[in-house]
Structure 1
Amino acid sequence: MSYAVSVKNLHVSYYGNEAVRNVSFTIEKKNLVGIIGPNGAGKSTLLKSLLGLIPKDKGEVQLLGKNIQEVRKQIAYVPQRSNIDWDFPITVIDTVLLGTYPALGLLRRPRKKEKEWAYECLKKVGMESFSKRQIGELSGGQQQRVFIARALAQKAEMFFLDEPFVGIDVTSEEMIVTLLKELRDKGKTVLVVHHDLSKATSYFNELILINKELVGCGAVEEIFRPELMTKAYKSQFPMFQEIGVSV
């Protein structure tokens, strides 16, 4: 079987400190997967290492059965908002147009059909009336919608999102979740770094639970269980009681 994601014995370090240790798992295609775990667990590190954005110490990662270099055009990435320069002088529509570039190649510029497609992607996230705005003029939720639109414009097979719901309004969050579920239902694979456990069971159908080491990977009902959650989050028992997880 060609998995959407296949990871074997992955180790990743920052400045000599091991952030991800001996992680192995597989994800089948057509899944919406949440990557969860406590602060400092290595969630974003794991996501970035899968994409080849940070080096790994050792281990093997394959996406769609191939190395990342072979399938990069089929992968869309939405980084954390805190990692984006919102003062950069680019408009909303031009930001979304960037999503069409991987298919164009280095020497071609977007034509009418690419511009029309970018506008359609803006419509999907309800941001078409903001197309001429500079991205820094938008609210947090609006900014995130624009970057979701950029990912949609890429027509990718896989979507990776790093904490997409941090600092955004409820309406934007609900719209984004609906879009991600639609992508999954259309056969795409979506991985999302997520921190709000109260919504994990309704947002995702599979979970990767990590605390530097892999605690569990599988269907939500298999992973979101007291024994696994307390193993990952250790002494944070009050949090589980608040979200209805009996410990």
Structure 2
Amino acid sequence: MKNTAISVNDLHVSYYGNEAVKGVSLSIKSGDLVGIIGPNGAGKSTFLKAMLNLIPRDKGDVEVLGKSIKEVRKKIAYVPQRNDIDWDFPIRVLDAVLLGTFPNLKLFKRPTKKDKEWAMKCLERVGMEDFSKRQIGELSGGQQQRVFLARALAQKAELFFLDEPFVGVDVSSEETIVKILKELTDHGKTVIVVHHDLSKANDYFNQLILLNKELISFGEVSEVFQSDIIERAYKGQFAFMKEIGV
């Protein structure tokens, strides 16, 4: 029996008086690979950020591993959208990955040789060890996303949150990322991914959260991926859904 990794109760978020997330409640089990799907403007990224307490909530509670986000922050790794990152910042690839070790360092301590070796192992895992001395801004979109996944791996987290990790990446990088995410859940880690491509949802995830500001459906992929349920979320876009076999 899996333990509960994340519990969300009546979560509400608004921007300038417009409600972006309305009363979402759900529980995610440890070891699940969960996709957050829904149409553009459905509140997917907002929901993810609100769970992590990165943006203010109007109402609602979130528990992670039975505690508040603040109490377990070190056990959570977050990979933001690529357009939220300053790629002109002058930092080398290895140093960017090494930042993932910082949450576990003691106060005023610098990374050790062992930490640097671990960061390199994380780069090797994502196939980017040959780029360790490159500036982060010199990489392609797929390479940058691999580096930020390596940074998350370096943190040795229990839960991984990724916001649109496959946008602007090449096929090889996407396959590498998916493979690693599945390996993480095989080892009991919990992974939550904001995702936009429904055609791959069945291959990538074992659980889906379907949002359109409110929770439309949550559960096994086969349960959520029903034409009548998808239509409730995508409405006018349903003709497109039929083209991809929903």
Question: What's the TM-score bracket when you normalise by the shorter of the two chains?
Answer: over 0.9
Higher deviation after alignment, 201-210 or 98-107: 98-107
In 1: Cα distance, 2:23 partner to 2:51 partner: 14
Partner of 1:85, secondary structure, is: coil
Q: Please name the residue that 1:150 is paired with.
A: 151
- 5 Å matches for 1:28-67? 28-67=29-68
Instruction: Return the offset for 1:2.
Output: 5.0
Q: CA deviation at 1:242?
A: 1.6
SS in 2 for 1:235: helix
Aligned equivalents of 1:198, 1:64: Cα separation in 2: 31
- List 4+ stretches of structure 1 deviating above 2 A: none
Q: Distance in 2 between matches of 1:105 and 1:135?
A: 27
Report what 1:212 is aligned to: 213
In the TM superposition, residue 227 of structure 1 has moved relative to its aligned partner by 1.1
Amino acid at match of 2:84: N
Q: Is the 8 A contact 1:141 1:168 kept in 2?
A: yes
State the alpha-carbon separation in 1 of the partners of residues 210 and 242 from structure 2: 18
**Aligned partners of 1:64, 1:39: CA distance in 2, in Å?**
30
Partner Cα separation in structure 2 for residue 12 and residue 240 of structure 1: 28
Uncovered stretches (5+) of structure 2, i.e. residues with no partner? none
Q: What is the rounded CA distance, in whole Å, between the counterparts of 2:13 and 2:20 in structure 1?
A: 6
Report what 1:238 is aligned to: 239
Corresponding residue for residue 15 of structure 1 = 16
- Matched with 1:26 is 27
**Separation (CA, whole Å) in 1 of partners of 2:88 and 2:9:** 39
CA distance in 2, matches of 1:238, 1:157: 39
Cα deviation, residue 106, structure 1: 3.2
What is the root-mean-square deviation in Å for CA atoms of aligned residues? 0.8
Distance 2:233 2:138 in 1: 39
Residue 235 of structure 1: how far off its partner (Å): 1.5
Unaligned runs of 5+ in 1: none
For residues 8-50 of structure 1, what are the alpha-carbon distances to aligned partners after superposition, in whole Å with 9 as ceiling and x for unaligned? 1110011111000011011111000000000000000000000
Letter of the 1:164 counterpart: P
Counterparts of 1:237 and 1:215 in 2: how far apart (Å)?
A: 15
Match of 1:193 in 2: 194
Match for residue 173 of structure 1?
A: 174
Residue 70 of structure 1 pairs with residue 41 of structure 2: no
TM (norm. structure 1) is 0.98
Query: What is the aligned partner in structure 1 of residue 108 from structure 2?
Result: 107
- Displacement of 1:167: 0.4
Determine if contact 1:5/1:61 at 8 Å carries over to the other structure.
yes
**Partner amino acid, structure 2, of 1:108:** K
The one-letter amino acid of 2:72's match is V
Q: Which amino acid aligns with 1:64?
A: L
Deviation at 1:239, TM superposition (A): 1.3
Structure 1 distance, partners of 2:74, 2:203, is: 30
Structure 2 Cα separation of the partners of residues 86 and 168 of structure 1: 15
Structure 1: distance between partners of 2:29 and 2:183: 17
Maintained 8 Å contact 1:2/1:65: no
Structure 1 residue matching 2:142: 3-state secondary structure: helix
For residues 218 and 105 of structure 1, the distance between their equivalents in structure 2, rounded to whole angstroms, comes to 39
Q: How many residues align?
A: 245
